[in-house]
Structures are given as structure tokens and as C-alpha cells.
Structure 1
Amino acid sequence: MAKPVIEDAVAIVPVRHITRTMDFYADVLGFERRSVSEDNSFAIAVHGPAAIHFVSCDDDEALGATANNISIYLWVREVDELFGSLKPKLDMLPEGRVRPPFDQPYGMWEFHVKDPDGCLLFFGENCTED
């Protein structure tokens, strides 16, 4: 009998407005709108093999607990090229929402973006020699 293997994991992020969130991920970050439920309560954004799921939430207490406390790490090939392609749109975001590429002490080259609901996105690649 084959050993069970977990093949993937996907974050499900609570957001206040599905449409605003999907517009941000598609128009600013270059994600594809994979799916949006008819009632606008759930959506999926993808970029290559990476996916993020969003669930609509109108509970202020729940959103307050998750805002600025959720992070997603996106592994990237060619971080500088991705950042360069996104930079014109990133430059239009409010101050403090973007951190340009930098070295992390744990051997990653990253840039950070905060989405409209406060989810911190890490875009990174390994910068250490194998």
C-alpha cells in the first residue's frame, strides 16, 4: 500500500470585499482570477501553480483578529524580474504597503506586499549557494 502524501496546501484568507481583493491580486500582482462564487462569498486567485483562496467575511471582530496577522510565503524564481514587472503598480500603493527586494538573514531574497486587508505577502527565492 502506498504511503499517503499531502501534495499541496492552500491558504484560505478572510477578506472584507471579494471583488476588491480579486482586483488587487489580478490588477496589481498579476494573479489570474480562477474562480469567484456566484454570491461573491468565495474566490480563488492563481499565479502559476500557486493559489490563494479568499472567503468573504463581514464579522468586524474576526477581521480585526486576522488583519495584519496573516502572512503567505510565495516561492519565486527571479524575484527581481517579478518585482520589476510589478513595480509600476506597486508604486501606486499607499506608503508602507511595499518593501523592495532585500536579503533576509535566513538566506532568502524577498520583497513584501500588504494586501488591502492587511495580509502580508512574502515573495522570495533562495539566495544561498547550494
Structure 2
Amino acid sequence: MNTTRLLNNLMVENVVDSLNFYISSLGFELVMAVPEGTEDIVYSLVEDQEYGFAVIKNGDVELMFQSLSSIKSEFPTINIDAASSRVIFYMQVIGIDELFASLEGKVDIVKGLHEAFYGMKEFYIKDFDGYILGFAEKA
């Protein structure tokens, strides 16, 4: 086996809310989305439309969002009561100070901007579904 790529598919309560957070707060862009209950692929969002799945991108980082209802439908034998996280997404960025300043007071910061002993300047936030996102730049 030769693994060439790893994409994270995040279980979320509401795909639109997650998209709005990542696009407006973190500068991601929509790659594609699938309206809830369909197999149609769309490349722009329609107001008041619910989505079961979406892909976003910022630089080389891509994330997928899938609604809990869509996951329960696709994997009926899996017992999923709510979105939860046992993972921290750690993203290296350029412009950590500017990013922190743009998010401060607007998002749930769980650990403020600091320089870690391993030479990274970093901070951590929590998104709408409780996922912890770390942002770092070489100090």
C-alpha cells in the first residue's frame, strides 16, 4: 500500500453552520457540496438549503463535513449519538499573529497565542461542533 493523501471527514450537526464558520472565520473556500438527501454535486451554496456533505479548502488543506443524519443513513449499524472529538487538528500557517488577531474575540479560543518549547508559535480554538483546531508557525 502507498498512501498518498489523508482527508478528514468531520461529523457535524449542521453542514451550513460549519461552512459559515470555516469560510468566514478561517478563510476556507467551498470546493463542493451535496444537498441533504440527494446525490447532486453543487459548487455554490443556496440560501435556506440544507447540505449533507461538503468539502472546503485553504491552501493545501482540505476538510470534509458530513451531517450526522447523513452519516447515520450511510452507516446504519454505527451507533452515533452526537458529534464528538478525540482529535486535535494541527495546521501550520503563515501569518500566525495576523490570524490570531483576526479571530480574537470572535471564536472560542481554548489556548491563547504562545511559543511552545518545541519552537512553534501556536494557539488553539474550538469550532461549532467541539473540534479543537490548532494553528502554528515556526517561531
TM-score computed with the length of structure 2 as normaliser? 0.72
Query: How many matched pairs?
Result: 116
Q: What displacement does 1:13 show?
A: 0.7
> Do structure 1's residue 52 and structure 2's residue 66 form an aligned pair?
no
3-state secondary structure, aligned to 1:41: strand
Q: 1:110 maps to which residue?
A: 122
Following the alignment from structure 1 to structure 2, what is the Cα–Cα distance between the partners of residues 20 and 124?
A: 25
> Do structure 1's residue 62 and structure 2's residue 74 form an aligned pair?
no
Identical counterparts, % of pairs: 26
Superposition RMSD in Å? 2.1
Deviation above 3 Å: which 4+ runs of structure 1? 4-7
Q: Residue 10 of structure 2: which of 13, 35, 39 is its match?
A: 13
Following the alignment from structure 1 to structure 2, what is the Cα–Cα distance between the partners of residues 16 and 118?
A: 10
Gaps of 5+ in 2: 37-50, 73-78
Following the alignment from structure 1 to structure 2, what is the Cα–Cα distance between the partners of residues 62 and 126?
A: 38
Q: 1:125 maps to which residue?
A: 137
Q: Cα deviations across residues 35-59 of structure 1 (Å, max 9, x unaligned)? A: 1112211111111111111111046
Change (3 A) 1:32 1:68: same
> Do structure 1's residue 41 and structure 2's residue 18 form an aligned pair?
no
Following the alignment from structure 1 to structure 2, what is the Cα–Cα distance between the partners of residues 10 and 35?
A: 14
3-state secondary structure, aligned to 1:53: strand
Following the alignment from structure 2 to structure 1, what is the Cα–Cα distance between the partners of residues 90 and 138?
A: 12
Gaps of 5+ in 1: none
Q: 2:105 maps to which residue?
A: 91
